[in-house]
Structures are given as structure tokens and as C-alpha cells.
Amino acid sequence: MSHTAPTDAALVAALRADLTRAGYTADAVRRVWGPVADAATGRGLHGPALRALEGRGDALAVLCRTLFLGTAASVADVDRALPETGARGLAALGLVTVDGDTVTPAVLLRPQDLADAAGAVSWWVVSDLDEAAVGGALPTGHVLGVGGASLTLAGLQLSTPAERVLDLGTGCGIQALRARRAAPQVVATDVSERALRFTELNAALNGLDGIETRHGSLFEPVAGERFDRVVSNPPFVITPRVAGVPEYEYRDAGFAGDDLVAAFVSGVGDVLTSGGTAQLLGNWEYRDGQDGLERVRGWVAASAVPLDAWIVEREQLDPLSYAELWVRDGGTVPGSPEYARLIDAWLDDFAARGVTAIGFGYLLLRRTPIGMPPLARYERVSQPVAGALGPHLGEALAAWDRLGLLDDEALAAATVITASDVTEARHHRPGEEDPTVIELRQGGGFARVLDVDPALAALVGASDGDLPVGVLIDAIADLLGADATALRADLLPRVRELVFTGFLRVA
């Protein structure tokens, strides 16, 4: 796609109508080539899908081959599949090139489903050709399509309404499209003019107004402005700053080590309204024995404005595994001399800073509301999580704010209700009546599993909203023969934790 080509509204409308008429949806694509081929395409292997489409000339098959997989087609086939747009229309939009009777894709245009608290939505997303379509290493100006990381962040986005949202490092614009569902105004920024053109086209193709694009790095394009929410899947990948190592715009912003994420964390407070939130994905280094999460804590402390921080480390890689991940991501073939050279460059870079591991995870930051206690939570959560986390994160923040208004006396006077997704498991040694382990399991949220003692298990089991927490604790103390005052001092902080993490809610 030409980075200077303006978006032709009439052609885009024609393409939208053609795609709708052809039934070019994610579900339809999966049905066309079946589950095995679908899994293969997710791994960058197009062979099974192409074999499944062999001999088919219907519109959906043509679109799958040409727009999803990036293989050439005839002008006649494309004209039949997209009667209003035609091959020439796609070329005018910069999506293909036409040479004689051959249509060669210049980009991918793929259907994408997304579900959040507002319901399910289907989009079409245009991005650059992937490795399988290119047939080798990606160009450094590559604009990435919708991948696992971008879907993760889309699912993390808070679903509560906002007025203005900043999507920093928008790429193909998937986060901007997602943010537009919660806010009437979205500003999408990127250092890549090409990425901004993709974002504009994707907004137009899906009939979304209210998305403004701006060119620039970090917060420069929005200096002096304020937003209720900032979302970012920034180019956080740690890349050696040496000659001969490709610098991919979609993953590398030219910063050394984890300095990009540090700059985001320490600077985002300046563009947030009071109570405004920022959400991003990021990497952080473990250096010379220093805990990576403590590094993030230092970045939060460096903010000029007070920030709440909820940092969740989801994964930790050693330097070699990290290097292999991103060298492969660029399309360099394992086992080749170039692969070995790039791996050495990564390892030398990590060794120079004393890096022993690299953490990856989610960062939720908030400009601390005036008069509220700050949130500072740094944790490791490695278990699989099902579904979008955005609603859970929003409920946790609301719970934190409500708990901040309740001292221990007020909490004891409140009633709480056990969440409907919480179950209890008890483990007994053979022949013993009393359990040796009692677990509370969370079906939603972060799917936490907590070991609890009989007193807390009894409190959670009795929390149906009828009796205040303090009354329940007194009854449990009497049942266990414990001191009621001591039991309150023990259980009330843990009740706060269970309310924040979603096991309990204040009635």
C-alpha cells in the first residue's frame, strides 16, 4: 500500500459492500479450509489452506487466496469476487498491483472477530504481507497485522466508557478500533507514516469515524493534551543497538534495552486526566540480580505525577530464548550463518548490561485520583487465562476505590457476596477427616487458586450478603474457639484482597 495514497471513500465503500456480499468473515474463512489448515495459517504455514482451496473459483475462495494468504490471482477472478471494486479498484487503493492479467497482493486484508463487554464485532484489517507471503525476511518498515499480542491487549482494554483515548504506536490500528467502541474520540499515533495510512484505511473500511491519526514518537504528538485512557502495544522488543541488526519499526523504537517501556511508564502520567488509565504490554530486564518487577517499580516512582500501578508478569525468558524468539520473528532461518550472527549480537548486548532474564507482561497504570490511597501491585501470574480480562480489571479498580473508602470498622459492618465463579476444593489424606489443603478456585479473572485456612474458607462459604463481615467473623471465632478480635485482625486484610481479586464483592 502506498504510504501517500489518499483513501478514496467511494472505493472503500464499494470494497466494504463487496466483502459483505461475499460473506468474507473469520468464521467463513475457517469453514472454507477447516481446522487443520486454520491452525497452520496461524503458524505462518499456508500450504494446507492453499491445498484446501485448490480448484475452487467461488468468491470466498478467491478472497481467501488473494487477500488472506497473499497469493496472486487473475483479474477475471478478482473482478468476479469483488464486482463493485474490481482488480483496478484494489490497485487504486494500493492493495494490489495489476500486471496484464495478474493481480499480485501488496498487503493482506483479513477478517477479524473480537468480543468484549459490549458484545461481538467483526472487522476487516489491512496490514503488510506476512513472512509466508513475502517468502523470506520481513522488510524493516513492515506493519504487523493482528497477532496474539494485539489480541491480548485488545482483551485487556477497559470496557468502561471514556471521552478521549490515545492509542500510542497504533500499527495497523486494531487498538484504535477497539478503543473506539468505548470512546467517541481516539487519537492514534505512530512513528511510521505507513502504519498511520493503514489505520486510516482500516477505520474507513469498517465505517468508524472519530479516529484521528498523528505522526510522532511517544508523547510528542499529544504534548499538552489529556486523555481518559491510553493504550499501547509499543515496539518494546529489546534489540541490540549495533550495526547489522535489523530495526523493525513494528517492534523496535530505537531505544537501548528496556528504555522505551521505562520512558512510557515515567511519562504517561503527564497526558492522563485525574483517574485516567494507561494499559500496555512490555518487556523488562533482570540485571545483575535485580528483580525485573523492581525495575518497573522504579519507573513508576520516576513519574512526575502519582501513579497507581498494577503490573502482571506473565512470562520470563532467559537471554538465549529471548534472542531466538525475535530473530525467528524477523524471518531469519534457524541454522543459517545469519541466524547465528544475530543470536550472538543479542547475547553480547545482554551480557554488556548484566541481563540474566527478560520479563513480559501487562502494565495497568492510573493517575492516582485525588484523595485516594495509591495502588501498588506487582505480581507474577503464569497460569492460563480464558477470555478478555478488561471487565475484570475494571471491576478490580472499582473495588479498590470502594475499599479505599472503608476502614476496618466499616468493612466489618459491610456485607459481601461470594462471586458465582468461585469454587472450593478440599484435599484429605486417606483416613483423615480434616482436610490438609483447602483451595479457593476462580473461574474467571486471572483464574487464581488460593490456599486458605478453615476460618477464611468458612467466611467465604457464608458470604451470601445476609450478615455483615464482622458478625460472620465473630460466629466463626466462636465455632473455632478463637479470639474474635485477633481473628478480625487476621481476616479483614484478606477479605480486602479477595474483594480486589474478585473472589468476593461488597454487596
Is residue 473 within 8 Å of residue 498, measured between CB atoms? no
Q: What percent of the chain has pLDDT over 70?
A: 99
Per-residue pLDDT reduced to its tens digit, 372-429? 889 999 999 999 998 889 999 999 999 999 999 999 999 999 999 999 999 999 999 9
Residue 433 lies in a domain: yes
Residue 94 sits in the same domain as residue 151: no
Residue 401 lies in a domain: no
Domain of residue 489 covers: 406-506
Is residue 327 within 8 Å of residue 346, measured between CB atoms? yes
**Of 359, 389, 419, which residue constitutes the final position of a domain?**
389
**Of 361, 389, 417, which residue constitutes the final position of a domain?**
389
Residues 417 and 314: their CA atoms lie apart, in Å, by 29
Residues 396 and 97: their CA atoms lie apart, in Å, by 50
H/E element holding 155? helix 148-156
**Phi, psi for residue 348 in degrees, rounded to 5:** -65, -40
Which residue is associated with the grid cell 485488545?
154
Residue 355 sits in the same domain as residue 215: yes
**Of 389, 418, 452, which residue constitutes the final position of a domain?**
389
- Please name the amino acid found at residue 120: A
Q: Which residues pair with 439 in a beta bridge?
A: 425, 451
Contacts 24+ apart (CB under 8 A), 118-122: 118/159, 118/181, 118/182, 121/181, 122/25, 122/26
Residue 359 sits in the same domain as residue 482: no
Assign 7 a pLDDT band (cuts: 50, 70, 90): low
**Which pTM value belongs to this model?**
0.91
What is the chain's length?
507
Residue 322 sits in the same domain as residue 355: yes
Q: Give the CA count within 13 Å in the CB-facing half-sphere of 111.
A: 18
Domain CATH for 480 = 3.90.930
Q: What is the mean pLDDT of the chain?
A: 93
Residues 114 and 209: their CA atoms lie apart, in Å, by 19
Residue 399 lies in a domain: no
Mean pLDDT of 146-161: 92
Which residue is associated with the grid cell 553480547?
348
H/E element holding 341? helix 337-353
Q: How many domains does the chain have?
A: 3
Is residue 93 within 8 Å of residue 103, measured between CB atoms? no
Strand 73-74 and strand 416-418: pairing? unpaired
Nearest to 168 by CA among 190, 193, 146, 197: 190
Per-residue pLDDT reduced to its tens digit, 165-195? 999 999 999 999 999 999 999 999 999 999 9
Per-residue pLDDT reduced to its tens digit, 468-483? 999 999 999 999 999 9
Helices (H), 162-318: 174-180, 193-205, 259-267, 292-301
Residues 6 and 249: their CA atoms lie apart, in Å, by 22
Cβ within 8 Å of residue 150, ≥6 positions away: 144, 171, 174, 175, 233
H/E element holding 356? strand 355-367
Residue 233 lies in a domain: yes
**Confidence (pLDDT) at 451:** 96
Assign 6 a pLDDT band (cuts: 50, 70, 90): very low
Strand 416-418 and strand 504-506: pairing? antiparallel
Residues 387 and 155: their CA atoms lie apart, in Å, by 8
